[in-house]
Amino acid sequence: MGEEEESLVTTTARDAILGRVRRSLGVSGTEINRRAAVADRLARAPRGVIPARGQIEHDARVALFITKIEAVQATTERVASPADVPRAVADYLRRHNLPQAVRMGADPRLEAVDWSREPQLSVAFGRSDGRDLVCVSHADAGIAETGTLALTSGPANPTTLNFLPDVHVVVLDAADVVGDAEAVFEGLRARFGVGQLPRTVNMVTGPSRSADIEQTLLLGAHGPRSLHVVVVG
């Protein structure tokens, strides 16, 4: 099938489908009020029903985030400042008998940290090819309501680091813990522009799991077997 023919076929299918939708709805697609209703919803993006659970003051919100993400089998620890992150990561690796080697992206918040303070820890940068046991990412936000991390793709935090390692360590600034997913969406609109998103936004709520064999819950199906969150501040 040539390029031209393909576009002809799909354009016809497109018009046929839209035509059938319109016939079934009894509309033409040019109605001003319908077009206004759609434009209004897309522009306004109403928040809807937001559970009260996450709508609390900052300290309680961070505490709720930690409770919630631990309830889905992630582990957490809290450190006072970014300078404490290398030690926290190295200690975590030691506690779990893991080699002192991690991979991370070019996130300025991770690059600003002096990793040489842990001389045994070797740090590689860039995307993963699947041979890294442990990867470190910096989250954009944490959602207290459900204990969910939000991560965005790009050189700062390549998406492969979220899924290929056995152990995923995620650094999260306590100041970035928000009440609900809608606050994350608002942040994305502010950062990337209204109607724009980076290639991938990952919302991660615990380590990978499957219950496909006899409904038995098992961790580490295809993604990380362990998720460790270092909350800074």
Partner 1 sequence: MQITSPRFKKNAHEALQNPPLQKAMGNVEVNFIGRRAASAAALPEFEALRDNARDIKNHTLQHLDLYLEAYERKVTEAGGHVHFAEDADAARKIILEICRQKGAKTVTKGKSMISEEIGLNQYLEANGVVPVETDLGEYIIQLRGEAPSHIIAPAVHVNKEEVEAEFRRVHTHLDPKRDLSEPTTLLAEARGELRAKFLAADVGITGANFLIAETGTSVIVTNEGNGDLTQILPRTHIVIASIEKITPTLNDVGQILRVLARSATGQEMSVYTTFSTGPRRPEDPDGPDDYHVVILDNGRSSMLGTDFEDMLRCIRCGACMNHCPVYHAIGGHAYGWVYPGPMGAVLTPTLIGVDKSGHLPNASTFCGRCESVCPMRIPLPKMMRHWREREFEQHLQPKAARWGLKTWAWFAKRPRVYQLATRVAMGGLGLMGRAKGRFASLPLASGWTTYRDFPAPEGETFQAQWAKRRKAS
**β-strand 101-104 against 134-138: which pairing, if any?**
parallel
Pairwise CA distance, residues 40 & 4, whole Å: 36
Minimum Å gap between C-beta 134 and partner 1 is: 16
Tell me the closest approach of the beta carbon of residue 89 to partner 1, in angstroms. 21
**Per CB under 8 A, which of residues 148..187 are in contact with partner 1?**
148, 153-155, 158-160, 162-164, 180-182, 185
CA-closest candidate to residue 104, choices 85, 78, 76, 117:
85
> Binding to partner 1 by residue 99, rule CB under 8 A?
no
Candidate residues 81, 97, 116, 196; the one interacting with partner 1 per rule CB under 8 A: 196
State which residue, 185 or 233, has the beta carbon closest to partner 1: 185
Determine, following the binding rule CB under 8 A, whether residue 108 of this chain makes contact with partner 1. Answer: no
Residues 22-61 that bind partner 1 (CB under 8 A): 22, 24-27, 29, 34-35, 37-38, 41-42, 45-53
Partners of 102 in the beta sheet? Answer: 123
Give the Cβ contact number of residue 220 at 10 Å: 14
Query: Which positions from 132 through 151 interact with partner 1, judged by CB under 8 A?
Result: 146-148
Taking CB under 8 A as the rule, does residue 198 contact partner 1? Answer: yes
Comparison of 88 and 150: residue with beta carbon closer to partner 1 = 150
Comparing CB distances to partner 1, the nearer of 75 and 202 is 202
Cβ 172 vs Cβ 232: under 8 Å: yes
- Exposed, middle or buried by CB within 10 Å (0-12, 13-18, 19+), for 95? exposed
The two tokens of residue 16 are 């046929």
Q: Per rule CB under 8 A, is residue 191 in the interface with partner 1?
A: no
The Cα-based distances of 151 to 82, 87, 157, 198, 229 in angstroms read: 18, 23, 8, 10, 13
Q: Is 116 in the site for partner 1 (CB under 8 A)?
A: no
- Least separation, in Å, of the C-beta of 119 and partner 1? 27
Shortest Cβ 138–partner 1 spacing (Å): 15
Interstrand relation of 134-138 and 148-152 (parallel, antiparallel or unpaired): unpaired
